Amino acid sequence: MYKNIDKQTVLQLKNLVSYQKGQVVSKTLVQNEVVSMTIFSFDKGEEISTHAASGDAMVTVLEGKGRFTVGGEVFILTEGETLIMPKDIPHAVYGIEQFKMQLIVSY
């Protein structure tokens, strides 16, 4: 079920990905027909352009600050804040500064 992660080990999710200049970095921890869980790092100014997901997408910012545009509405999230982006609603993610997030998509 889980991959790319140590089991029976205390972890900080934000430490599972590093920042890379000019890039969005991702590490998938779970991927199946029911759920997907991925950790992302965004360099400042990097983005994932507008798209829609086939499931509800819950993001939690682990570090830094990101801008989330969901159905045309803008949300600024910082460490510890969570937002659910509904299924089939266009959304985009932008790094206001370097930031890391956990993404869980439920199908």
pLDDT at 1: 84
Residues 6+ apart with CB under 8 A from 6: none
Q: Where are the chain's structural domains?
A: 13-106
3-class SS of residue 15? helix
How would residue 11 be classed by pLDDT, with cut points 50, 70 and 90? very high
For residue range 44-101, what is the model confidence (pLDDT) as tens digits? Answer: 999 999 999 999 999 999 999 999 999 999 999 999 999 999 999 999 999 999 999 9
**Tokens found for residue 100:** 């890391």
pLDDT at 67: 98
**Tokens found for residue 3:** 């991959």
How would residue 104 be classed by pLDDT, with cut points 50, 70 and 90? very high
Report the topology of domain 13-106: Jelly Rolls (2.60.120)
Nearest to 56 by CA among 85, 93, 28: 85
Nearest to 50 by CA among 83, 96, 91: 91
| Mean pLDDT score, 27-42 | 97
pLDDT at 105: 98
pLDDT at 85: 98
Q: Which amino acid is at 34?
A: V
